[in-house]
A and B are shown apart, each in its own frame.
Chain A
Amino acid sequence: MISVRPKTTVLLILCGLIGIAAFGWPLLVTPDSKIAHGGDAPWTFALLLPLVLAVVLAELSEGGMDSKAVAMLGVLSAIGAAVRPLGAGTAGIETVFFLMVLGGRVFGPGFGFVLGNTTLFASALLTGGVGPWLPYQMLGAAWVALGAGLLPDLKGRAELVMLALYGVVSSLMYGFLLNLSFWPYAVGTGTTVSFVPGDPVWDNLIRLAAFSLATSLGWDLGRAITTAVLVLLTGPVFLRALRRAARKAAFISP
């Protein structure tokens, strides 16, 4: 529905590199770096990421986003934004991811990337939750939905199982990335589970794991499980309905 041209691919890759740095800087930074010790790095990235996302989204829309794609994005994001509060508060019930996985699967990686962004953005606007974490969530969700669009072409039950597995893997990855970005905010420096600039990646990862274990592991597992369960349960119906819509919307010129 939204075409990805070679130039867009290049931009998506660049955006990916910047994203990896934004999420993973505590693992990558050297102790010589100016940002290694202060609290500035999260904020620098929180300001840079929106610009990067804006550039990539503008490029994707320039490639042609017709009214159907926009309306579909709007409505799918609306479902996402509307069902998201259902899960909030209940540990780990995450009701948005399955929608992004299925939407990305049916309408392709370009659509998925935009869908991840618009869903989280609309949801934040509705709940007044625009904060420094938003660009990270948007990018993470965009990758999840984009990835679903790149999965191999399977049919029937195999497709469903693949999507559910992808749901588990991608939810866990998303949780890991978001933890990584939240880590420096949450514990700062100085505790024994804080990141140590320049330490071997493995040592930092162990501290991160300890941090995750102490804070969000329940949520992350919950998210992975709900996503997989929802994909399996609603997948047949949703895929059929979405594909019906995708077909209905196909254009045949006279």
Chain B
Amino acid sequence: MITFDNVSITYAGASEPTVSNLDFTVPEGELCLVVGRTGAGKSTVLRAVNGLVPHFTGGTLTGRVLVDGRDTAQFPPRELADVVGMVGQDPLAGFVADNVEEELAYSMESIGLPNAVMRKRVEETLDLLGLAELRDRPLATLSGGQQQRVAIGAALTAHPRVLVLDEPTSALDPGAAEEVLAALQRLVHDLGMTVLIAEHRLERVVQYADRVLWLPGGGEPAIVGEPGPVLAGSPVAPPVVRLATVAGWDTVPVSIRDARRVSAVRGTHTALNAVRGTLTASNAARGTLTSLLDASGVEVKYGKTRAVRGVDLRIGDGERVALMGRNGSGKSSLLWAVQGSGPRSGGTVDVRGQDPKTMKPAQRRELVGLVPQTPGDLLYLETVAAECAQADRESGMPSGSCRKILDDLVPGIDPQEHPKDLSEGQRLGLVLAITLTAVPPVLLLDEPTRGLDYPGKARLAATLKDLDAAVVLSTHDVEFVAEFADRVIVMAEGEVVADGPAAEVITSSPVFAPQMAKVFAPLPVLTVDQVAGALSA
């Protein structure tokens, strides 16, 4: 269905091709996963499928890309709209209409289908993706998962043979991600669609994949094949795949079910059970700590909605806390309220005897640092160097302090680079460095793992663990929590519903349990490193 015939793509002004000598075929009715590190060219490959690269972005494509027998050199994206459905990274940014029904109809209108056909297909799509109750809703009022399903539906109504999705579940909480993936699986199984997905959260999607395309980047040739074997050789791999390497299995499982089966056959489970006593979680809770941040009865109201309802939060010195819960459960509002820059309509916050809310913003950041969900919002100057210098001035630190922190976090960023052109991980690093320049004893991070690949996340976890500050971060990323946190707080409807040591809270939840906990239940294992440590002991 999709054929890349010795394809290399070079963007205008770039000295090296972004991807080179791509040679692969995706047969009809398969789900193919594109993996690779940030910047390896995943989006480029996806966008080449419907000709956005190079027709829209500019640049040079050598070789040939064929989709359903059509060469993208001859067919610009608009002429492929009825063959390839494209779903971009941020669904909201790609919406043209303003309510669900009209958005679903947009492609069909452009293609010029008769009204009767459009009516029928819109109804079918509403049912297929479970969107029927939302049909009149303005798109901006939908939740992330709903928006993603509308975006998929909008691509589907033109009846394409191929569906291409760029990180469809990155921004979603585990529940919403399940909804989207279930919908996708249905398309592949029931309708025989060919689906191409790029995704960082491999643990979520890899069990649905028939095939994996690994882009190693740096001029290395791409590797295509069965998910297990290909991922086993790649630095971006979900925990189950890494488990196979650690435990020395020769078959590489990609789903929890397979892993349990292999583990039973190969006796790994039994071996672990034997050394059960040594399975001290690397990040178990550490006794009593001196309280650093003490918040009680925190309330946040937006108009009539109560986003945070009387939350008590006590953070000890050097604690590493993960805040979890659905989108809209009040995590961000709580972080902002605690930092003092966001609204707080009730309750008290006390950090080292002071309430950050009553302080000036400049002093506040020396007490509590916050890295917001879109770190780029903090940046407004033209170069990295200028941002660093500004941060030094803001914090009253000797010049060069910020740059030094940045070099520890993410070495080798060109100081003259525009912050806009940095990669996701580099930008996060820069904002983290700016925030840390003020040396706050408490650091809050709102969804820091978005857009980071596995090595990026491992690095962030290591950095945060080394910090001389209490860290509270909100995230949907279960595996990251397993790596990083020693305490987990779960929020729902603005209230705290669970608070305790990470191992207890996340292993007992079916939604938040990391892969290792699922594979080795009921053993208290969270991470691959724990397994490796126990097995080698």
Residues A254 and B12 in contact, CB atoms below 8 Å apart: no
Q: Is residue B61 within 8 Å, beta carbon to beta carbon, of the partner chain?
A: yes
CA distance A254 to B9 in the complex (A): 10
CA distance A254 to B60 in the complex (A): 5
Q: Is residue A251 within 8 Å, beta carbon to beta carbon, of the partner chain?
A: yes
CB distance from A33 to the nearest CB of B (A): 46
Chain A residues with Cβ under 8 A from B54's Cβ?
252-254
Q: Is residue B55 within 8 Å, beta carbon to beta carbon, of the partner chain?
A: yes
Q: Is residue B62 within 8 Å, beta carbon to beta carbon, of the partner chain?
A: yes
Residues A251 and B60 in contact, CB atoms below 8 Å apart: no
The listed residue (B12, B55, B60, B62) touching A250 by CB distance below 8 A is B12
Q: Is residue B73 within 8 Å, beta carbon to beta carbon, of the partner chain?
A: yes
Chain A residues with Cβ under 8 A from B415's Cβ?
none
Chain B residues with Cβ under 8 A from A250's Cβ?
12, 58
Residues B61 and A252 in contact, CB atoms below 8 Å apart: no
Q: What is the chain A residue whose CB lies nearest that of B63?
A: A254
CA distance A252 to B12 in the complex (A): 8
Q: What is the chain B residue whose CB lies nearest that of A240?
A: B382
Chain B residues with Cβ under 8 A from A254's Cβ?
54, 59-62, 73
CA distance A67 to B77 in the complex (A): 11
CA distance A129 to B446 in the complex (A): 40
CA distance A250 to B73 in the complex (A): 17
Chain B residues with Cβ under 8 A from A67's Cβ?
56
CA distance A242 to B73 in the complex (A): 29
CA distance A137 to B479 in the complex (A): 57
CB distance from B467 to the nearest CB of A (A): 34
Chain B residues with Cβ under 8 A from A251's Cβ?
55-56, 58
Chain B residues with Cβ under 8 A from A252's Cβ?
12, 54, 58-60
Chain A residues with Cβ under 8 A from B55's Cβ?
251, 253
CA distance A253 to B58 in the complex (A): 7
CB distance from B63 to the nearest CB of A (A): 10
- Chain A facing B: main interface SS: loop
CA distance A26 to B12 in the complex (A): 55
CB distance from A81 to the nearest CB of B (A): 14
CA distance A253 to B61 in the complex (A): 9
CA distance A250 to B54 in the complex (A): 11
For residues 60 through 84 of chain B, which have their beta carbon under 8 Å from a beta carbon of chain A?
Answer: 60-62, 73
CB distance from B191 to the nearest CB of A (A): 28
Q: What is the chain B residue whose CB lies nearest that of A252?
A: B58
CA distance A250 to B59 in the complex (A): 10
Q: What is the chain A residue whose CB lies nearest that of B58?
A: A252
For residues 31 through 60 of chain B, which have their beta carbon under 8 Å from a beta carbon of chain A?
Answer: 54-56, 58-60
Contact string, A225-254, partner B, CB cutoff 8 A, digits 1/0?
Answer: 000000000000000000000000011111
Chain B residues with Cβ under 8 A from A253's Cβ?
54-55
Q: What is the chain B residue whose CB lies nearest that of A241?
A: B420
CA distance A251 to B12 in the complex (A): 9
CB distance from B99 to the nearest CB of A (A): 16
CB distance from B92 to the nearest CB of A (A): 14
Q: What is the chain A residue whose CB lies nearest that of B60?
A: A254
Q: What is the chain A residue whose CB lies nearest that of B55?
A: A251
Max chain B Cβ within 10 angstroms of own Cβ: one of A67, A250, A254: A254
CA distance A254 to B54 in the complex (A): 7
Chain A residues with Cβ under 8 A from B12's Cβ?
250, 252
CB distance from A38 to the nearest CB of B (A): 42
Chain A residues with Cβ under 8 A from B61's Cβ?
254
CB distance from A72 to the nearest CB of B (A): 14
Chain A residues with Cβ under 8 A from B73's Cβ?
254
CA distance A98 to B512 in the complex (A): 51
Max chain B Cβ within 10 angstroms of own Cβ: one of A67, A250, A253: A253
CB distance from B77 to the nearest CB of A (A): 9
CB distance from A74 to the nearest CB of B (A): 9
Q: What is the chain A residue whose CB lies nearest that of B13?
A: A247
CB distance from A69 to the nearest CB of B (A): 13
CB distance from A236 to the nearest CB of B (A): 10
CA distance A11 to B457 in the complex (A): 59
Chain A residues with Cβ under 8 A from B62's Cβ?
254
CA distance A67 to B54 in the complex (A): 15
CA distance A229 to B347 in the complex (A): 44
CB distance from B100 to the nearest CB of A (A): 20
Chain A residues with Cβ under 8 A from B56's Cβ?
67, 251
CA distance A250 to B13 in the complex (A): 12
CA distance A37 to B500 in the complex (A): 83
Contact string, B340-375, partner A, CB cutoff 8 A, digits 1/0?
Answer: 000000000000000000000000000000000000
Q: What is the chain A residue whose CB lies nearest that of B53?
A: A254
CA distance A250 to B55 in the complex (A): 10
CA distance A7 to B203 in the complex (A): 59
CB distance from A70 to the nearest CB of B (A): 10
CA distance A67 to B62 in the complex (A): 25
CA distance A45 to B61 in the complex (A): 53
For residues 18 through 69 of chain A, which have their beta carbon under 8 Å from a beta carbon of chain B?
Answer: 67
CA distance A240 to B208 in the complex (A): 45
CB distance from A196 to the nearest CB of B (A): 49
Max chain A Cβ within 10 angstroms of own Cβ: one of B55, B58, B60: B58
CB distance from A77 to the nearest CB of B (A): 15
CB distance from B20 to the nearest CB of A (A): 15
CA distance A108 to B56 in the complex (A): 21
CA distance A67 to B59 in the complex (A): 18
For residues 394 through 425 of chain B, which have their beta carbon under 8 Å from a beta carbon of chain A?
Answer: none
Chain A residues with Cβ under 8 A from B58's Cβ?
250-252
CA distance A67 to B60 in the complex (A): 21
For residues 449 through 506 of chain B, which have their beta carbon under 8 Å from a beta carbon of chain A?
Answer: none
Chain A residues with Cβ under 8 A from B59's Cβ?
252, 254
CA distance A127 to B73 in the complex (A): 45
CB distance from B462 to the nearest CB of A (A): 35
CA distance A252 to B61 in the complex (A): 10
CA distance A252 to B57 in the complex (A): 8
CA distance A252 to B58 in the complex (A): 5
For residues 57 through 97 of chain A, which have their beta carbon under 8 Å from a beta carbon of chain B?
Answer: 67
Contact string, B244-264, partner A, CB cutoff 8 A, digits 1/0?
Answer: 000000000000000000000
CB distance from B321 to the nearest CB of A (A): 37
CA distance A252 to B56 in the complex (A): 9
CA distance A253 to B55 in the complex (A): 7
CA distance A251 to B58 in the complex (A): 5
CA distance A252 to B60 in the complex (A): 7
CB distance from B384 to the nearest CB of A (A): 17
CB distance from B171 to the nearest CB of A (A): 21
Q: Which 10 A-B pairs have the closest CB atoms?
A: A252-B58, A254-B61, A254-B60, A252-B12, A251-B58, A254-B54, A250-B58, A252-B59, A254-B73, A252-B54
What are some 19 contacts across the A-B interface (CB < 8 A)?
A67-B56, A250-B12, A250-B58, A251-B55, A251-B56, A251-B58, A252-B12, A252-B54, A252-B58, A252-B59, A252-B60, A253-B54, A253-B55, A254-B54, A254-B59, A254-B60, A254-B61, A254-B62, A254-B73
Given contact pairs A251-B55, A252-B58, A254-B73, a sample of 4 additional A-B residue pairs in the complex whose CB atoms are under 8 Å apart: A250-B58, A251-B56, A252-B59, A253-B54
